[in-house]
């Protein structure tokens, strides 16, 4: 087996710079030293939309925690910053798919865990991956690992990932995302098998120095890190839920990077304060209007199709997203295999066709309800849809629900229409997974049941030929749209502003890869 060992790049310049800063700081009074660090040694201040109390990747609830985990732990591979989805080596010196169900890897020999837990070994990889799929762990992220059977340890730093069946998302989700984080077997076992709010042992380029709940998480350089030196000494992550607040903080110079609201994009296009830059990335999220196929009022396919054609997506996007988002053609975003160049129903409304379909349906005096989450984006969208459906004679009543009630709508059999938005990981299987027959009444709120769709979803996950896989997902979305249960609206967008000090490292969907952030 050929092992491509990576050179441990301890940069001389980085070392000298760090040593000089430390020496200078030590010579200064405490207060001044702190000031000097904030200004010169480099503190990156970024905003997260939520707090990150959990340091266990097995129980990670999403991107906020993953931003930190990806900095303090290592994975075999990490996402590559840029505008196209791809991965790069991280803890793996070599990784190779030897056949559809076997992936060989060799670890770098220069990565160690903190708190005296020794070097990272293949046993740690085995422990970390198998822990995710073990029933005892009860990891909500287990599906991301797909059909993982086990990890065979073939040497101290070598092993083979064994799958029960081929699994294409291994390279796009399982390894470079949440489930790919490698934790220390010894440390986790010593902690009783579960990591809480304190990472028991870290290995990444940063260490979590402190966490003040709902206030700030501070990451600091790992002094023992032997890989490419990170550009920033300290990263402060501020949980700020409200985008308006984050924008004000950014404009006041208190943040170096934040996602901004779509409503502010036009303003920032005219100029970002303090010499900053606006970066507009497409998002993977998908937003759609769903129709419950089990509801007696929505049994008529022509009625559902009339609704599809009566809704003018560009108008919705203009009103709710200020024209900063593009219409979608399905649930799979551009840039991912399976994205459709165009849907079966054009984004623009066709009122004549909608009226003709409604007449064909034989339905009269149609009154329907639309359930939405209590956010201005959705109330705006819902009112536009209400006005559009009124044009063809359908009366729409809007039910605004708070988040608890809304997200419990899966088993609500009285649900008629619903405006929904799901998050997404960069693999098409992540989108289709929620619309299978098995998910009806759970996350498949439309109760869309289609055997061909289910087969395509299963087969596409195991298909390693990208072109064939893309065709399968395109067909799956055709089936969804043909059912009349879906009016696809948008994938939204992820506009980000950053200060002139920062060279951001972002995923193609605009999310931060903090360990790769550079200095301008």
Binding site for other proteins (CB under 8 A): 244, 247-248, 261, 263-264, 267, 315, 318-320, 322, 374-377, 379-380, 382-384, 386-387, 397-402, 404-405
Shortest Å distance, C-beta 217 to other proteins = 26
Given the complex with other proteins, which of 67 and 243 has the nearer CB atom? Answer: 243
d(C-alpha 71, C-alpha 218), whole Å: 11
For other proteins, the closer of residues 200 and 325 by Cβ is: 325
End-to-end CA distance of the chain: 41
Report, in Å, the least distance between residue 364 CB and other proteins: 23
The whole-angstrom separation of Cα 79 and Cα 213 is 28
User: Residue 399 CB, nearest distance to other proteins (Å)?
Assistant: 6
Nearer residue to other proteins within complex by CB, 132 or 419: 419
Residue 282 Cβ vs other proteins, minimum distance, rounded to whole Å: 22
Q: Which is nearer to other proteins, 280 or 318 (CB)?
A: 318
For other proteins, give the closer residue by CB, 22 or 405. 405
Q: Of 56 and 247, which CB lies nearer to other proteins in the complex structure?
A: 247
Q: Are 182 and 125 in contact (CB under 8 A)?
A: yes
| CB closer to other proteins, 141 vs 258 | 258
Q: What's the min distance (Å) between Cβ of 244 and other proteins?
A: 5
Question: Do the Cβ atoms of 396 and 311 come closer than 8 Å?
Answer: no
For residue 424, the Cα-to-chain-centroid distance in whole angstroms is: 5
- Quote the CA–CA distance of 517 and 81 in Å, as a whole number: 9
| Token pair recorded at residue 396 | 């729409």
Cα 401 to Cα 372: distance, rounded to the nearest angstrom = 6
Closest approach of Cβ 261 to other proteins, in Å?
Answer: 7
Answer yes or no: are the C-beta atoms of 255 and 306 closer than 8 Å.
Answer: no
Q: Which is nearer to other proteins, 149 or 315 (CB)?
A: 315
Query: Based on CB atoms, which residue is closest to other proteins, 205 or 263?
Result: 263
- The widest CA-to-CA distance across the chain, in whole angstroms, is 85
Helix, strand or coil, per DSSP, at residue 243:
helix
- Sign of the four-CA dihedral 46, 47, 53, 59: negative
Give CB contacts under 8 A, 24+ apart, made by 186-195.
Answer: 186/113, 186/117, 186/118, 187/113, 187/115, 187/117, 188/127, 188/131, 193/136, 193/137, 194/56, 194/59, 195/54, 195/55, 195/56, 195/58, 195/59
What phi and psi values does residue 144 have, to the nearest 5 degrees? Answer: -65, -25
CB of 295 to other proteins, least distance (A): 16
What region, left, alpha or beta, does residue 87 occupy, with left being phi > 0 and alpha being psi -120 to 50 degrees? beta
Select 135 or 402, whichever has its Cβ closest to other proteins: 402
In the complex with other proteins, the residue whose CB is nearer, 383 or 437, is 383
What's the min distance (Å) between Cβ of 377 and other proteins?
8
CB atoms within 10 A of CB 511: 20
- Name the minimum Å distance from CB 492 to other proteins: 15
CB of 384 to other proteins, least distance (A): 7
- Find the shortest distance in angstroms from Cβ 388 to other proteins: 10
Backbone angles phi, psi at 96, to 5 degrees: -150, 130
CA atoms within 13 A on the CB side of 268: 27
**Short-list 205, 260, 212, 231, CA closest to 68:** 205
Phi, psi of 98 (to 5 degrees): -85, -30
């Amino acid at each position: 087996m050929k092992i491509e060992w990576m050179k441990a790049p301890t940069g001389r310049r980085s070392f000298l710079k760090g040593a000089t800063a430390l020496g200078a700081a030590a010579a200064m009074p405490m207060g001044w030293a702190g000031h000097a660090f904030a200004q010169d040694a480099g503190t990156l201040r970024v905003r997260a939309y939520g707090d990150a109390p959990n340091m266990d990747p097995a129980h990670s609830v999403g991107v906020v925690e993953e931003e930190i985990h990806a900095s303090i732990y290592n994975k075999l591979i990490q996402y590559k910053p840029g505008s196209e989805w791809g991965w790069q080596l991280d803890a793996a010196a070599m990784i190779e798919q030897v056949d559809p169900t076997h992936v060989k890897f060799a670890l770098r020999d220069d990565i160690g865990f903190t708190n005296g837990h020794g070097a990272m070994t293949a046993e740690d990889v085995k422990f970390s991956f198998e822990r995710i799929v073990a029933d005892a762990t009860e990891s909500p992220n287990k599906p991301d690992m797909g059909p993982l059977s086990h990890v065979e340890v073939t040497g101290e730093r070598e092993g083979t990932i064994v799958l029960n069946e081929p699994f294409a998302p291994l390279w796009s989700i399982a390894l470079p995302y949440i489930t790919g984080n490698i934790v220390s077997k010894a440390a986790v076992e010593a902690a009783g098998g579960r990591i809480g709010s304190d990472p028991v042992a870290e290995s990444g380029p940063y260490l979590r120095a402190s966490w003040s709940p709902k206030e700030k998480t501070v990451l600091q350089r790992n002094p023992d890190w032997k890989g490419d030196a990170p550009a920033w000494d300290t990263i402060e992550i501020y949980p700020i839920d409200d985008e308006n607040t984050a924008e004000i903080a950014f404009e006041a110079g208190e943040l170096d990077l934040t996602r901004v609201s779509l409503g502010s994009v036009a303003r920032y296009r005219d100029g970002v304060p303090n010499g900053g830059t606006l970066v507009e990335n497409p998002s993977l999220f998908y937003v759609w209007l769903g129709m419950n196929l089990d509801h007696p009022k929505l049994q008529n396919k022509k009625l559902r199709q009339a609704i599809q054609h009566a809704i003018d997506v560009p108008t919705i996007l203009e009103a709710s997203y200020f024209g900063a988002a593009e219409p979608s053609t399905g649930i799979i975003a551009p840039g991912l295999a399976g994205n459709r160049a165009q849907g079966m129903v054009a984004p623009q409304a066709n009122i004549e066709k909608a009226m003709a379909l409604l007449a064909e349906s034989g339905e009269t005096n149609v009154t329907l309800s639309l359930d939405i989450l209590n956010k201005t984006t959705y109330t705006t969208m819902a009112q536009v849809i209400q006005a559009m459906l009124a044009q063809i004679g359908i009366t729409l009543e809007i039910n605004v629900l708070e988040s608890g009630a809304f997200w419990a709508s899966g088993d609500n059999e009285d649900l008629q229409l619903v405006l929904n938005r799901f998050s997404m990981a960069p693999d098409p299987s992540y989108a289709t997974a929620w619309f299978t027959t098995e998910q009806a009444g759970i996350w498949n709120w439309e109760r869309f049941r289609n055997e061909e769709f289910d087969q395509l979803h299963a087969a596409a996950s195991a298909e390693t030929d990208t072109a064939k896989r893309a065709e399968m997902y395109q067909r799956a979305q055709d089936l969804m749209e043909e059912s009349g249960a879906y009016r696809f609206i948008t994938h939204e967008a992820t506009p980000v502003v950053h200060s002139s000090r920062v060279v951001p490292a972002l995923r193609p969907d605009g999310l931060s890869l903090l360990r790769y952030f550079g200095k301008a």
